[in-house]
Amino acid sequence: MAQPPELTAAVRRFAALPTVLVATDFDGALAPLVTDPLRSRPVEGGMETLAAIADLPGTTVALVSGRALAPLRELSGATEPLLLVGSHGVEDSRRPDGLALDDEQRDLLATLDADLRAVVERHPGTRVEDKPAGRVLHTRGLDPEVGAAALESAHALGERHTSLVVTPGKEVVELAVAHVGKGVALVDLAQELGVDGVFYAGDDLTDEQGFAALADDPDQDRAARRLTVRVGDGETGAQFRVPDEPSLVEVLRALLDARRKHRPAG
Ligand SMILES: [Mg+2]
Protein backbone atom coordinates (compact mmCIF):
# COMPACT_ATOMS: atom_id res chain seq x y z
CA MET A 1 0.00 0.00 0.00
CA ALA A 2 1.29 3.44 -0.92
CA GLN A 3 2.23 5.74 1.92
CA PRO A 4 0.39 9.04 2.20
CA PRO A 5 2.56 11.81 0.67
CA GLU A 6 2.62 13.70 4.02
CA LEU A 7 4.26 10.67 5.69
CA THR A 8 6.74 10.25 2.83
CA ALA A 9 7.71 13.93 3.15
CA ALA A 10 8.01 13.69 6.95
CA VAL A 11 10.26 10.61 6.62
CA ARG A 12 12.54 12.50 4.19
CA ARG A 13 12.79 15.50 6.51
CA PHE A 14 13.51 13.28 9.49
CA ALA A 15 16.11 11.25 7.58
CA ALA A 16 18.12 14.41 6.84
CA LEU A 17 18.65 15.30 10.54
CA PRO A 18 22.30 14.95 11.66
CA THR A 19 21.57 12.69 14.66
CA VAL A 20 18.46 10.66 15.32
CA LEU A 21 16.95 8.02 17.58
CA VAL A 22 14.78 5.54 15.70
CA ALA A 23 12.71 3.66 18.25
CA THR A 24 9.82 1.26 17.93
CA ASP A 25 7.58 -0.89 20.04
CA PHE A 26 7.82 -4.63 19.32
CA ASP A 27 4.49 -6.46 19.80
CA GLY A 28 1.77 -5.15 17.51
CA ALA A 29 4.22 -2.82 15.79
CA LEU A 30 6.96 -5.08 14.39
CA ALA A 31 5.53 -8.44 15.46
CA PRO A 32 1.86 -9.37 14.96
CA LEU A 33 -0.07 -9.96 18.19
CA VAL A 34 -0.50 -13.66 18.93
CA THR A 35 -2.34 -15.66 21.60
CA ASP A 36 0.82 -17.05 23.17
CA PRO A 37 3.15 -14.10 23.87
CA LEU A 38 6.18 -16.41 23.66
CA ARG A 39 5.37 -17.26 20.03
CA SER A 40 5.44 -13.75 18.65
CA ARG A 41 7.91 -13.14 15.82
CA PRO A 42 8.88 -9.99 13.90
CA VAL A 43 7.43 -9.58 10.41
CA GLU A 44 9.69 -10.25 7.44
CA GLY A 45 12.36 -7.63 6.92
CA GLY A 46 11.62 -5.72 10.12
CA MET A 47 14.69 -6.52 12.19
CA GLU A 48 16.96 -6.52 9.10
CA THR A 49 15.81 -3.00 8.25
CA LEU A 50 16.35 -1.80 11.83
CA ALA A 51 19.84 -3.33 11.84
CA ALA A 52 20.67 -1.55 8.56
CA ILE A 53 19.40 1.76 9.96
CA ALA A 54 21.53 1.25 13.09
CA ASP A 55 24.62 0.90 10.88
CA LEU A 56 24.24 4.45 9.55
CA PRO A 57 26.25 7.27 11.17
CA GLY A 58 24.49 9.52 13.67
CA THR A 59 21.75 6.95 14.07
CA THR A 60 20.71 5.00 17.18
CA VAL A 61 18.01 2.32 17.01
CA ALA A 62 16.04 1.07 20.00
CA LEU A 63 13.26 -1.42 20.64
CA VAL A 64 11.08 -0.06 23.44
CA SER A 65 8.75 -2.68 24.86
CA GLY A 66 6.66 -3.64 27.84
CA ARG A 67 8.34 -7.03 27.70
CA ALA A 68 11.19 -8.02 29.96
CA LEU A 69 14.61 -7.64 28.36
CA ALA A 70 15.48 -11.34 28.02
CA PRO A 71 12.39 -12.44 26.05
CA LEU A 72 12.52 -9.20 24.03
CA ARG A 73 16.09 -10.01 22.98
CA GLU A 74 15.25 -13.63 22.23
CA LEU A 75 12.03 -13.04 20.28
CA SER A 76 13.34 -10.07 18.28
CA GLY A 77 16.77 -11.57 17.65
CA ALA A 78 18.15 -8.05 18.14
CA THR A 79 21.90 -7.72 18.50
CA GLU A 80 24.16 -4.75 19.18
CA PRO A 81 24.27 -1.94 18.35
CA LEU A 82 20.46 -2.05 18.70
CA LEU A 83 19.42 -0.86 22.15
CA LEU A 84 16.71 -2.73 24.01
CA VAL A 85 14.52 -0.96 26.52
CA GLY A 86 12.35 -3.47 28.38
CA SER A 87 9.63 -3.52 31.05
CA HIS A 88 8.36 -0.09 29.94
CA GLY A 89 11.73 1.49 30.63
CA VAL A 90 12.63 -0.34 33.83
CA GLU A 91 15.27 -2.35 31.95
CA ASP A 92 17.94 -1.13 29.56
CA SER A 93 20.31 -3.36 27.57
CA ARG A 94 23.13 -0.95 28.30
CA ARG A 95 22.82 -1.87 32.00
CA PRO A 96 23.36 -5.63 31.99
CA ASP A 97 23.34 -5.78 35.79
CA GLY A 98 19.58 -5.29 35.53
CA LEU A 99 17.35 -3.88 38.20
CA ALA A 100 17.96 -2.47 41.62
CA LEU A 101 14.81 -3.30 43.58
CA ASP A 102 14.74 -2.32 47.25
CA ASP A 103 13.51 -4.69 50.00
CA GLU A 104 10.06 -3.18 50.00
CA GLN A 105 9.71 -3.70 46.25
CA ARG A 106 10.95 -7.30 46.53
CA ASP A 107 8.37 -8.02 49.28
CA LEU A 108 5.62 -6.47 47.19
CA LEU A 109 6.62 -8.63 44.21
CA ALA A 110 6.29 -11.78 46.38
CA THR A 111 2.84 -10.65 47.57
CA LEU A 112 1.82 -9.92 44.00
CA ASP A 113 2.88 -13.44 42.94
CA ALA A 114 0.69 -15.04 45.61
CA ASP A 115 -2.29 -12.81 44.81
CA LEU A 116 -2.04 -13.42 41.06
CA ARG A 117 -1.85 -17.19 41.59
CA ALA A 118 -5.24 -16.88 43.29
CA VAL A 119 -6.59 -14.84 40.33
CA VAL A 120 -5.46 -17.53 37.86
CA GLU A 121 -7.10 -20.25 39.98
CA ARG A 122 -10.38 -18.33 39.98
CA HIS A 123 -10.21 -17.58 36.24
CA PRO A 124 -8.84 -20.66 34.45
CA GLY A 125 -7.11 -20.00 31.14
CA THR A 126 -5.56 -16.72 32.20
CA ARG A 127 -1.78 -16.61 32.00
CA VAL A 128 0.80 -14.77 34.08
CA GLU A 129 4.01 -13.51 32.50
CA ASP A 130 6.91 -12.85 34.85
CA LYS A 131 8.87 -9.64 34.53
CA PRO A 132 11.81 -8.52 36.62
CA ALA A 133 9.83 -5.75 38.28
CA GLY A 134 6.26 -7.00 37.87
CA ARG A 135 3.78 -9.47 36.47
CA VAL A 136 1.45 -9.37 33.49
CA LEU A 137 -1.94 -11.06 33.37
CA HIS A 138 -2.91 -12.14 29.83
CA THR A 139 -6.49 -12.97 28.81
CA ARG A 140 -6.12 -13.03 25.02
CA GLY A 141 -8.09 -15.86 23.41
CA LEU A 142 -10.41 -16.31 26.41
CA ASP A 143 -14.17 -15.91 26.49
CA PRO A 144 -14.58 -12.11 26.75
CA GLU A 145 -16.60 -12.35 30.01
CA VAL A 146 -14.00 -14.58 31.68
CA GLY A 147 -11.25 -12.28 30.44
CA ALA A 148 -12.98 -9.14 31.70
CA ALA A 149 -13.60 -10.69 35.14
CA ALA A 150 -9.95 -11.72 35.42
CA LEU A 151 -8.74 -8.26 34.43
CA GLU A 152 -11.10 -6.75 36.98
CA SER A 153 -9.56 -8.92 39.71
CA ALA A 154 -6.10 -7.80 38.66
CA HIS A 155 -7.15 -4.15 38.76
CA ALA A 156 -8.54 -4.76 42.27
CA LEU A 157 -5.05 -5.93 43.33
CA GLY A 158 -3.71 -2.64 42.07
CA GLU A 159 -6.20 -0.82 44.26
CA ARG A 160 -5.34 -2.94 47.32
CA HIS A 161 -1.57 -2.49 46.95
CA THR A 162 -1.38 1.21 46.18
CA SER A 163 2.34 1.28 45.36
CA LEU A 164 1.77 -1.10 42.43
CA VAL A 165 1.85 0.61 39.06
CA VAL A 166 -1.06 -0.66 36.96
CA THR A 167 -0.74 -0.49 33.17
CA PRO A 168 -3.77 -1.70 31.20
CA GLY A 169 -3.50 -2.84 27.58
CA LYS A 170 -5.44 -4.92 25.07
CA GLU A 171 -6.63 -8.04 26.98
CA VAL A 172 -3.72 -7.58 29.30
CA VAL A 173 -2.86 -5.78 32.51
CA GLU A 174 0.58 -5.22 33.97
CA LEU A 175 1.19 -4.78 37.69
CA ALA A 176 4.67 -3.48 38.45
CA VAL A 177 6.58 -2.63 41.62
CA ALA A 178 8.79 -0.18 39.71
CA HIS A 179 7.80 1.75 36.65
CA VAL A 180 9.30 4.27 34.30
CA GLY A 181 6.90 4.33 31.34
CA LYS A 182 7.70 4.50 27.65
CA GLY A 183 7.29 8.28 27.55
CA VAL A 184 9.89 8.97 30.22
CA ALA A 185 12.17 6.26 28.83
CA LEU A 186 12.10 7.73 25.30
CA VAL A 187 12.71 11.34 26.31
CA ASP A 188 15.47 10.31 28.74
CA LEU A 189 17.16 8.26 26.04
CA ALA A 190 16.89 11.10 23.50
CA GLN A 191 18.35 13.50 26.07
CA GLU A 192 21.18 11.13 26.96
CA LEU A 193 22.08 10.55 23.30
CA GLY A 194 21.67 14.25 22.51
CA VAL A 195 19.86 13.48 19.24
CA ASP A 196 18.19 16.08 17.01
CA GLY A 197 15.02 14.08 16.46
CA VAL A 198 13.16 10.96 17.58
CA PHE A 199 11.09 8.52 15.52
CA TYR A 200 8.70 6.34 17.48
CA ALA A 201 6.09 3.80 16.37
CA GLY A 202 3.73 1.67 18.45
CA ASP A 203 0.26 0.16 18.60
CA ASP A 204 -0.98 0.34 22.17
CA LEU A 205 -1.96 2.56 25.08
CA THR A 206 1.55 2.58 26.53
CA ASP A 207 2.86 3.87 23.19
CA GLU A 208 0.48 6.80 23.47
CA GLN A 209 2.54 7.86 26.52
CA GLY A 210 5.53 7.81 24.21
CA PHE A 211 3.84 9.92 21.52
CA ALA A 212 2.66 12.43 24.12
CA ALA A 213 6.03 12.66 25.87
CA LEU A 214 7.87 13.25 22.59
CA ALA A 215 5.40 16.00 21.68
CA ASP A 216 6.04 17.58 25.11
CA ASP A 217 9.83 17.05 24.99
CA PRO A 218 11.42 19.83 27.09
CA ASP A 219 13.76 20.32 24.11
CA GLN A 220 11.15 22.03 21.95
CA ASP A 221 13.24 21.89 18.79
CA ARG A 222 13.53 18.14 19.17
CA ALA A 223 9.78 17.93 19.84
CA ALA A 224 9.16 19.80 16.58
CA ARG A 225 11.38 17.33 14.70
CA ARG A 226 9.71 14.18 16.08
CA LEU A 227 8.07 11.62 13.83
CA THR A 228 5.44 9.47 15.56
CA VAL A 229 3.45 6.66 13.95
CA ARG A 230 0.53 4.68 15.35
CA VAL A 231 0.29 1.13 14.02
CA GLY A 232 -3.32 -0.04 13.59
CA ASP A 233 -6.55 1.54 14.72
CA GLY A 234 -7.56 3.29 17.96
CA GLU A 235 -7.45 6.86 19.22
CA THR A 236 -3.99 8.30 18.91
CA GLY A 237 -1.84 11.32 19.62
CA ALA A 238 0.67 10.18 16.97
CA GLN A 239 1.22 12.34 13.89
CA PHE A 240 0.73 9.50 11.42
CA ARG A 241 -0.91 6.11 11.20
CA VAL A 242 -0.14 2.93 9.28
CA PRO A 243 -2.56 -0.01 9.12
CA ASP A 244 -0.33 -2.91 10.18
CA GLU A 245 3.15 -4.28 10.93
CA PRO A 246 4.29 -4.78 7.30
CA SER A 247 3.34 -1.14 6.58
CA LEU A 248 5.58 -0.01 9.44
CA VAL A 249 8.44 -1.98 7.88
CA GLU A 250 7.77 -0.09 4.63
CA VAL A 251 8.08 3.21 6.52
CA LEU A 252 11.34 2.01 8.09
CA ARG A 253 12.64 0.97 4.64
CA ALA A 254 11.79 4.43 3.29
CA LEU A 255 13.63 5.96 6.25
CA LEU A 256 16.65 3.73 5.57
CA ASP A 257 16.73 4.65 1.88
CA ALA A 258 16.30 8.37 2.55
CA ARG A 259 18.97 8.42 5.24
CA ARG A 260 21.42 6.53 3.03
CA LYS A 261 20.98 9.27 0.41
CA HIS A 262 20.94 12.26 2.74
CA ARG A 263 23.03 11.08 5.63
CA PRO A 264 25.30 13.56 7.26
CA ALA A 265 29.03 13.32 6.73
CA GLY A 266 30.84 11.17 9.27
MG1 LIG B 1 2.69 -3.08 21.30
The CATH architecture assigned to 103-176 reads: 2-Layer Sandwich (3.30)
Residue 232 region by backbone torsions, left for phi larger than 0, else alpha for psi between -120 and 50, else beta:
left
Q: What is the pLDDT of residues 94-131, one digit of tens each?
A: 875 456 467 888 899 999 999 999 999 999 999 999 88
User: Treating both helix axes as pointing N-terminal to C-terminal, what angle do 245-262 and 5-15 enclose, rounded to 10 degrees?
Assistant: 40
Q: What is the pLDDT of residue 88?
A: 86
Cα–ligand 1 centroid distance for 203 (angstroms): 5
Q: Which CATH architecture has domain 5-97+181-262?
A: 3-Layer(aba) Sandwich (3.40)
User: Per residue in 169-184, pLDDT tens?
Assistant: 989 999 998 767 899 8
- Cα 87 to ligand 1 centroid, rounded to whole Å: 12
Q: Does the bond joining 18 to the residue before it have cis omega, within 30 degrees of 0? A: no
* Domain spans in the chain, listed from the N-terminal domain onward: 5-97+181-262, 103-176
Global pTM value = 0.78
Topology agreement, domain 5-97+181-262 and domain 103-176: no
Phi, psi torsion values for 191, nearest 5 degrees: -65, -45
Q: Which residues of the chain have pLDDT under 50?
A: 97, 100, 266
The number of residues in the chain equals: 266
Distance in Å, CA 204 to ligand 1 centroid: 5
- Residue 181 CA to ligand 1 center (angstroms) comes to 13
